[in-house]
């Protein structure tokens, strides 16, 4: 089976109904004024006209979820993730501040779960990663002492990556920080440029480095995000073959 598969129109209804029955978790992501927002959510109802989604978060999304807002959806079910883009048809209202209605998607892509497992960069490559401060997923307004860094890409998946940096940079990072990220996965390729949120910070076992774990943002939203996802899958497939 291929790593990614475009579901046919007659399978979309079956797929969405199955996800509702299994109470599968997922995320809803979007940007407003250049800032990324990511909410945990669950698909709770499929109707002929729209989808009903319940936001699972302590935050109150009503203030930023607006009608006609484009969003990216990623749903986890069994050994696959289902990604598609949609539009908010009915934003949250005071009586139910966490419920959102979305336009039904015409297309859904099914991505094999295994590509979200981390694959080490082959030992023959020294992949340098450049990344820079872009803001925060929360309301933090603190600026780091430095706002641009370089590190070594250690592993990668369709959902994120691990970058090793100098431990002296620890005070520049925090969980929930958003960074721009650029790296060239193999010689003679064009660089990959995307945005990511920091999810993990840990010193290396030898104490000589700091591991910065990031989660890629926006791969479910829009044509450009989907193209980035496809390119990452090609990289993962190549790394997997080289590591055997």
Q: Which two tokens stand for residue 239?
A: 């790394």
At 151, is the secondary structure helix, strand, or coil? strand
| β-pair type (177-183, 148-156) | unpaired
What pLDDT is recorded for position 155?
96
Apex 71 CA angle, 69 and 72, nearest 5: 170
Q: Which helix (H) or strand (E) holds 243?
A: none
Q: Which residues of the chain have pLDDT under 50?
A: 1
Closest CA to 228 of 220, 137, 214, 40: 220
Closest CA to 24 of 77, 92, 66: 77
Closest CA to 7 of 95, 93, 80, 96: 80
What pLDDT is recorded for position 58?
62
Q: Is residue 67 classed exposed, middle or buried when 0-12, 13-18 and 19+ CB atoms within 10 A define those classes?
A: exposed
- Counting every residue written for the chain, the total comes to 244
Apex 139 CA angle, 36 and 219, nearest 5: 15
* pTM passes above 0.75: yes
At 88, is the secondary structure helix, strand, or coil? strand
At 186, is the secondary structure helix, strand, or coil? coil
Which residue ranges make up each domain of the chain? 4-115, 117-242
Contact 105, 12 (CB under 8 A): yes
CATH of domain 4-115: 2.30.110.10
Any idea what DSSP says for residue 167? Answer: G
Backbone φ/ψ region at 141: left (φ over 0), alpha (ψ -120 to 50), beta: alpha
Domain 117-242 homologous superfamily, CATH: predicted glycosyltransferase like domains (2.40.10.220)
């Amino acid at each position: 089976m291929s790593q990614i598969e475009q579901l046919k129109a007659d399978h979309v209804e079956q797929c969405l109904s199955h996800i509702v029955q299994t109470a599968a978790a997922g995320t809803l992501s979007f940007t407003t004024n250049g800032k990324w927002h990511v909410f945990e959510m669950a698909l709770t109802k499929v109707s002929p006209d729209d989808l009903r989604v319940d936001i699972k978060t302590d935050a109150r999304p009503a203030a930023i979820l607006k009608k006609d807002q484009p969003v990216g959806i990623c749903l986890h079910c069994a050994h696959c993730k289902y990604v598609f883009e949609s539009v908010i048809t009915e934003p949250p209202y005071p009586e139910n501040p966490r419920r959102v209605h979305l336009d039904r998607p015409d297309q859904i892509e099914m991505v094999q779960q295994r590509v979200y497992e981390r694959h080490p960069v082959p030992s023959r490559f020294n992949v340098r990663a450049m990344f820079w401060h872009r803001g925060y997923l929360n309301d933090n307004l603190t600026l780091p002492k430095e706002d641009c860094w370089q590190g070594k890409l250690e592993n990668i998946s369709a959902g994120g990556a691990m970058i090793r940096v100098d431990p002296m940079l620890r005070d520049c990072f925090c969980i929930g920080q958003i960074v721009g990220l650029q790296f060239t996965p193999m010689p003679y390729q064009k660089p990959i440029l995307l945005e990511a949120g920091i999810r993990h910070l840990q010193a290396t076992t030898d104490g000589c480095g700091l591991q910065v774990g990031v989660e890629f943002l926006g791969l479910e939203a829009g044509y450009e995000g989907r193209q980035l996802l496809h390119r990452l899958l090609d990289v993962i497939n190549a790394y997997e073959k080289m590591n055997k």
